[in-house]
Structure 1
Amino acid sequence: MKRRARRGGRRLATVLATLLILIGLPAGIARGHAFLERSDPAANAVVPQVPGEVRMWFTEPLEAAYSRAELFDAQGQRIETEPSHVGTDPKELVLPLPPDLPRGTYTVQWRNVSAADGHPQVGFFSFTVGTVADVQVPAPPPPLPVGFAPTWLDALGRWFGLLGLTGLLGALVCWRWVIRPSLEPLEPDRRERVAAAVRALSLAGLALASIGSLVGLGVQAWNAEGQFSLAGIWGLLSGSRFGLLWSLRVALLLALGGLLARHSAWHEPPSGRRVWLCLGLGLAAALAYSSMSHAAAQPAGRPAAVAADWLHLVAASVWVGGLLALLAGLILVRRGEIERWREVYALAIPRFSTLAIASVAILTLTGLYSAWLQVGNLEALRSTGYGRALLVKLALVLVLLELGAINLLVTGPRMRRSVDAPRHFGYTVLAEAVLGIAVLLVVGVLTSLPPARDTLAASSGRASFHFAEGEVHASLQVSPGAVGFNRYTVDLALAGQDVPEGTQVLLRVTPPGNLEGVREIELARQASTSGQQARFEASGSELSVVGAWELELIVRRPNAADWRVSVPLEVAQAPPTERQPGPPPRFAGLTAAAAVAGLGMAIMLLTVGLRRRDPQGNGRFLAELGAGLALVCAVALLVSRLDQTPGVAARNPIPATPESIAAGQELFVANCAVCHGASGRGDGPAAASLDWPQINMDLTAHLYQHTDGDLYWWIREGKAGTPMPGFKNQLADEEIWHLVNYLRTLDRRSAP
């Protein structure tokens, strides 16, 4: 039996090592989450005159103190400008331009830190002043004289923090509702030893959470400033959203740890006030974690997304932390008569199984919603680092579920009659605990990676192809891959050898259908690339019509035969976006957040009620109460679901200048005030004649819940099921965007 156990342990260790290696493979430099969504001028645009400023919009709000942009000429030399600044939109970065810029191509290099989850990001794009004849292939801007913390350090800090919180919450919940009520068969000194072991676990969790928080603070300061310094840490703590939430989280953890460190918390009969105070501190600390997660960066429906993430974290802490508490309190300290321990286990397994079943149900629902928010489709799951890490997490969880089912369905029922059952229970709990720790490690990696949905969005504005034949490996990117001006980039690598000087890269483009005129584009080698990898670039307007073009990539090396490969490219009027996931369901306001939390409570009541068998009928009452609460919360979520249109992701191309807002106000008075009223509160002269509630026409009550793209779509097409007509025959697109800019100035009486 021992030999089989050792073999099983070795197999488990091998599986875990393999999975962790797979997780660690993509780890390199940390990458952020505030991706560049669009810019004005757009990337690769040709503008006839020098714009007054370059405006950049990102996918998340920015930390103003740590976000900036600089301008470079085609030779890579920095041009002095006024300092960049965050605009009126917290997602907008503005770089003023000198009015006397000569004609030519310029590069904007930007760097930001997300105010939502604290991750950094860098990038650059180019535009040209003048005509197409003035377009040059710009030299890449010099590397920023700063660096980012390694991904592995960020993931390690997050893992420590999650594991520590799990130990704290799991020890608290499992001690109060599983372990302590199951210790009746043991002598008092054995109970003392169990209490001491669980207390030690909670203190170890506090220490680990504190270390993880300190590592996370250092990583964030490093990423924000580009280097680690004490001054950077102080600036982060005193002047950023991250610093505020970090301080709150640490204060809550220390308060909870101080209560659990007291001897009386474990050795005296628990008072209801102390238990609920500890539980409240633990739940609040978990909420502080979730407030800095990917969920906090959602463009709409943020309260409900954060609530779902918080519920997911709490359920995982109860399940995995409970396993650690069982291991520390009932397995590792087991001494004395086996019969007494069998009785303890027979009492503890059903209790813990109830917690575990409820936790798994909550994890399933919240995990599916989180995957919908952060991933969205199979393409994102397969082709991004976030998606692959999520697959590894799911594989570990499936094994964990299998082991839990063995304890529930096999080991538990045999506990009172099988001599070997306690030993089997110990091995299974040990394996579950190790797998749970591995799952938390994967979660640490996930939270340090950009969501798959954002990764696809960042790459959707270009067509990409990858080729490998023989010793030649090449990647071709056509950006934006639409009719008009495009940039062609080829990254070339030769297996086991340098790319020799004199290598030429050509791109032949054949137009669709019966059109004639094959064009050959020679890509210039970038001086900054050498060795086994080289980059070649060119730009032009060869892709001039919509249709199926044929691209032929040719690599000519000295003293070697030409290497060729052909690929079709469907050129559309707009950049390709077919890989993009559809919009996920979102729920508005604090009511939706409360409904999500209520669903978690309903699942717990249902689970306890269905598993509780007593003649008084208390179990049935709890199950009915849980079912009723679940129904109420489901209705609340349906009512608070945000309407999303096909234009939900569209961004307003017109800046919200005073002139634009004034134009929008004139349009509002002429077309909208008759129903919505002069101030948008639904009290216009025609409102009384409409069979529609005034609160639904009060724009100030719910505009904050919708994106600019949604408002544009409803103004243009109308809103089905309401008296709202469409204005596409009365208003031009530009006028509708002016109107959207004005609507954003209306009072927000109930924004969360």
Structure 2
Amino acid sequence: MLEVIAAAARWFQLAANLIILGSCVFLVIAGKEKQIYSAQWVEKLERLFPKLAISIIIGLVIVLAATIGQVTGGTSKLLQAQVWFDFINNTQTGKIWSGHLISAVLLTLSVIFLRKSEKARGRYFLCALIASVPLIADAMVSHSASEGMTIANIAPYALHIILAGVWLGGLPALLLLKYKYVKQVKSSKSSFMDAQILNRFSTMALPVMLLIVLTGIIVGDRTIDGHYAALVATPYGWLLSGKILLLCIILVIAASVRSYWLPLFANSKDSLVTKKSAAGMRKWVRIEFLLAVVLLFIATLIANNTTPAKHALIEDWPFPFRFSIVATWGMDNVAVQVWCGLATAGAALIVLYFGRKANWSLKRLIAIPAVLVISGLAIALPPLTIEAYPETYLRPLVPYDVISISYGAELYAEHCVDCHGFQGKGNGIKARTLSTVLPDMLTEPHTTEHTPGDFYYWISFGMENTDMPGYADQLSEEDRWDLVNYVYALSRGYQARILSPEIIPNRKNIQPPVFAYTAHDGTSGILQDFRGDQPVLLVIFSWPESKKRIEQLKQSYANLKTENLAILAVPAGTLTSKELSEVTKDLPFPLVVEGAQEIVQSYALSRRTMNRPDLLGRGSIPDHMEFLIDRDGYLRARWVPLAEETGWRNIEVLLKQIELLNKENKSAIAADEYIR
């Protein structure tokens, strides 16, 4: 109940704020003539301002009360002033709310001042600026701000909502302006002046709407982050799809008003035609305004009451298919069919252009392009579909870590190696006896073409029309996810062959497995501890084969530490007490003593290089490997002395790579701890 009350209050105060902003902008563009600001419709509009401003304050108080009620578990403590004070003073939400309330109070004072002062264009401009401040505060509690309180995150959403206010808030002013023509016929001089005002608003509204769409795409792309399946399988997606549909309808209505009713009103010499066109325009603008208010309510629910698409969980995919360009584009005739479909859909724009030139009726102008768009999509989309399952978008239960990969390797050796082979190439001892050809899971891009949920489904229930059995009755849910993690580690390990001792700037596409460790000096931690702070050099070594390199790292540690590098040394095998003593003597960085085996086994899957593919038999693990992981948790460079003799043996080369990593801007999205 409290959530419903909070949503309604947010919508109410936001709508009031937008109307004040948009109405003031409308009055700014109305013109410089004093007689405009003394008109009856302006007086009626101004009388609304104080009520709307107070509504913003009341709405904010209700929102805070509902939020405190949700946090404290009920309404019993809402009468305690200390509870309110503690929430406002000790939480970021409370502090932002304080700023929001202060800006709303300033807006109230400004509209009161506007009502009492001499009416002039500059007053409305100042009021519009002040009305923008609460909207910026509102942006600071949006999904965009949850990714980080930075200008880059907040600005697109703030601009989006301010522009929405310029458009939506101007509609009530437009309705009041047209109202006088419904009740009585005005003089031609008055009609001419009002037509100029409407033309100015219409001219401004077009680029404003385009910017609203553009900023909406930017904000939406950030909250979706490639998880487009969530648009049809989560509450966030359903609401967003509804919002987009409403916006399309509104755009059609706005285009109709701009192309038909406004010219009819502006060019009419007959008072009856003027009245009729004004009534028609007012009817459609009223519908546009009502739809915009509904759209605003949906937007409020999206921003405050749903989980963004990129974080939303799709427990049960509702369709037997999904779209995948990656998995289908290389198939025969797919590209040709898709481009033909897009060309057909694109032809709708050409038809629309020439239809307007030829003065087609509105129905014809909408129907023919719509048929072309639908036909084009019907041609282009089917070739891009592949089979999907209820589990296709299921979020992995188990993190992508070295423990899971290690368990997965054991399960793979027990249940899968006879058919799929030691390295997943589909060349096991039983492969030739099967009725179907097994896929090469190592070198072919199966893990990029299919989701983790697809692999989980196949491991659980088998693959139809193949010899692949299901293991749901033999393996637990966690075991099956461990197998999925191992299959992905195999594939990503092969993809890592493109890495070299030199990083490619800003190319962050390889997600290494995370891990926990305990060091020889008693310290412990996880790989994620270094995120946002330091790049990590993971050194997997053998003793005494790597003795010279370890000594070199000891001597160079001061210079490496100056570049803010963390080093973790991981023995490839079990060290004796004597060897451990030799390695750790004067060792200035941690040596992993617990968790080492799993780290070595998992990172060894990324041992291959372009000139040493290591695809035969079981493969072999080099004596020494080093991996450079950046501050966002991505694997960026690798040195395997067995395959690349020089590499980081020259410490200056390593220092150069670290320097390049430190110069990169921190990515807004760190590497995920789950495969996706």
Matches of residues 307-706 of structure 1 in structure 2 within 5 Å? 307-331=155-179, 335-340=183-188, 342-377=191-226, 378-415=228-265, 416-417=267-268, 418-419=273-274, 420-456=276-312, 479-480=397-398, 550=470, 571-574=483-486, 643=506, 645-647=508-510, 674=559, 677=562
1:198 touches 1:329 (CA, 8 Å); kept in 2?
Answer: no
Alpha-carbon separation, structure 2, partners of 1:728 and 1:227: 64
The structure with the greater share of residues assigned to helix is: 2
Deviations 1:421-460 (A, max 9, x none): 111111121111111111101111101234433434x56x
Alpha-carbon separation, structure 2, partners of 1:219 and 1:353: 39
Residue aligning to 1:713: 635
1:549 touches 1:569 (CA, 8 Å); kept in 2?
Answer: no
Does 1:206 pair with 2:53?
yes
2:28 touches 2:125 (CA, 8 Å); kept in 1?
Answer: no
Residue aligning to 1:163: 15
Compared CA separation, residues 206 and 675, structure 1 to 2 (3 A): same
Deviations 1:372-401 (A, max 9, x none): 100133212122211111110011111111
Does 1:224 pair with 2:71?
yes
Residue aligning to 2:103: 252
| TM-fit CA distance, 1:512 | 8.7
Deviations 1:523-560 (A, max 9, x none): xxxxxxxxxxxxxxxxxxx98x9996515689xxxxxx
Compared CA separation, residues 373 and 664, structure 1 to 2 (3 A): closer
2:231 touches 2:237 (CA, 8 Å); kept in 1?
Answer: yes
Q: Which amino acid counterpart does residue 250 of structure 2 have in structure 1?
A: L
Compared CA separation, residues 676 and 360, structure 1 to 2 (3 A): farther
| TM-fit CA distance, 1:714 | 3.5
Deviations 1:313-367 (A, max 9, x none): 1000000001122224543796443345533431122111122112112112111
Residue aligning to 1:293: 142
Compared CA separation, residues 157 and 711, structure 1 to 2 (3 A): same
Q: Which amino acid counterpart does residue 287 of structure 2 have in structure 1?
A: A
Q: Which amino acid counterpart does residue 200 of structure 1 have in structure 2?
A: R
Compared CA separation, residues 316 and 655, structure 1 to 2 (3 A): farther
Alpha-carbon separation, structure 2, partners of 1:649 and 1:266: 65
2:23 touches 2:173 (CA, 8 Å); kept in 1?
Answer: yes
Alpha-carbon separation, structure 2, partners of 1:451 and 1:431: 30
Compared CA separation, residues 356 and 466, structure 1 to 2 (3 A): closer
Please give the secondary structure, in 2, of the residue aligned with 1:268. coil
Residue aligning to 2:86: 235
Structure 2: gaps of 5 or more residues: 321-389, 409-413, 421-429, 431-458, 475-479, 490-504, 538-549, 566-628, 641-645, 667-676
2:29 touches 2:197 (CA, 8 Å); kept in 1?
Answer: no
Structure 1: gaps of 5 or more residues: 1-148, 469-473, 487-508, 517-541, 555-567, 578-641, 681-706, 719-724, 731-735
Please give the secondary structure, in 2, of the residue aligned with 1:308. helix
1:386 touches 1:450 (CA, 8 Å); kept in 2?
Answer: yes
1:199 touches 1:261 (CA, 8 Å); kept in 2?
Answer: no
Compared CA separation, residues 183 and 426, structure 1 to 2 (3 A): farther
2:236 touches 2:308 (CA, 8 Å); kept in 1?
Answer: yes
Alpha-carbon separation, structure 2, partners of 1:195 and 1:346: 16
Residue aligning to 1:688: none
Q: Which amino acid counterpart does residue 367 of structure 1 have in structure 2?
A: G
2:510 touches 2:636 (CA, 8 Å); kept in 1?
Answer: no
Alpha-carbon separation, structure 1, partners of 2:193 and 2:249: 26
Please give the secondary structure, in 1, of the residue aligned with 2:632. helix
Residue aligning to 2:624: none
Please give the secondary structure, in 1, of the residue aligned with 2:259. helix
Q: Which amino acid counterpart does residue 485 of structure 2 have in structure 1?
A: Q
Compared CA separation, residues 326 and 716, structure 1 to 2 (3 A): farther
Compared CA separation, residues 644 and 312, structure 1 to 2 (3 A): farther
| TM-fit CA distance, 1:276 | 5.0
1:651 touches 1:709 (CA, 8 Å); kept in 2?
Answer: no
Compared CA separation, residues 264 and 572, structure 1 to 2 (3 A): closer
2:182 touches 2:278 (CA, 8 Å); kept in 1?
Answer: no
Residue aligning to 1:283: 132
Alpha-carbon separation, structure 1, partners of 2:101 and 2:634: 43
1:374 touches 1:452 (CA, 8 Å); kept in 2?
Answer: yes
Alpha-carbon separation, structure 2, partners of 1:294 and 1:152: 18
Q: Which amino acid counterpart does residue 160 of structure 2 have in structure 1?
A: H
Alpha-carbon separation, structure 1, partners of 2:16 and 2:124: 19
Alpha-carbon separation, structure 2, partners of 1:414 and 1:644: 56
1:551 touches 1:569 (CA, 8 Å); kept in 2?
Answer: no
| TM-fit CA distance, 1:485 | 7.4
Compared CA separation, residues 710 and 438, structure 1 to 2 (3 A): same
Compared CA separation, residues 349 and 664, structure 1 to 2 (3 A): closer
Q: Percent identity?
A: 17
Question: Over alpha carbons, which structure has the higher Rg?
Answer: 2
2:18 touches 2:164 (CA, 8 Å); kept in 1?
Answer: yes
Please give the secondary structure, in 2, of the residue aligned with 1:155. helix
Please give the secondary structure, in 2, of the residue aligned with 1:338. coil
1:375 touches 1:453 (CA, 8 Å); kept in 2?
Answer: yes
Compared CA separation, residues 414 and 218, structure 1 to 2 (3 A): same
2:508 touches 2:635 (CA, 8 Å); kept in 1?
Answer: yes
Alpha-carbon separation, structure 1, partners of 2:43 and 2:135: 25
Compared CA separation, residues 167 and 659, structure 1 to 2 (3 A): same
| TM-fit CA distance, 1:677 | 4.6
Please give the secondary structure, in 1, of the residue aligned with 2:470. strand
Residue aligning to 1:62: none
Q: Which amino acid counterpart does residue 338 of structure 1 have in structure 2?
A: K
Q: Which amino acid counterpart does residue 402 of structure 1 have in structure 2?
A: V
Compared CA separation, residues 716 and 266, structure 1 to 2 (3 A): farther
| TM-fit CA distance, 1:288 | 0.8
Alpha-carbon separation, structure 1, partners of 2:223 and 2:184: 50
Alpha-carbon separation, structure 2, partners of 1:464 and 1:727: 48
The structure with the greater share of residues assigned to strand is: 1
Q: Which amino acid counterpart does residue 217 of structure 1 have in structure 2?
A: L
Alpha-carbon separation, structure 2, partners of 1:174 and 1:715: 56
Does 1:177 pair with 2:29?
yes
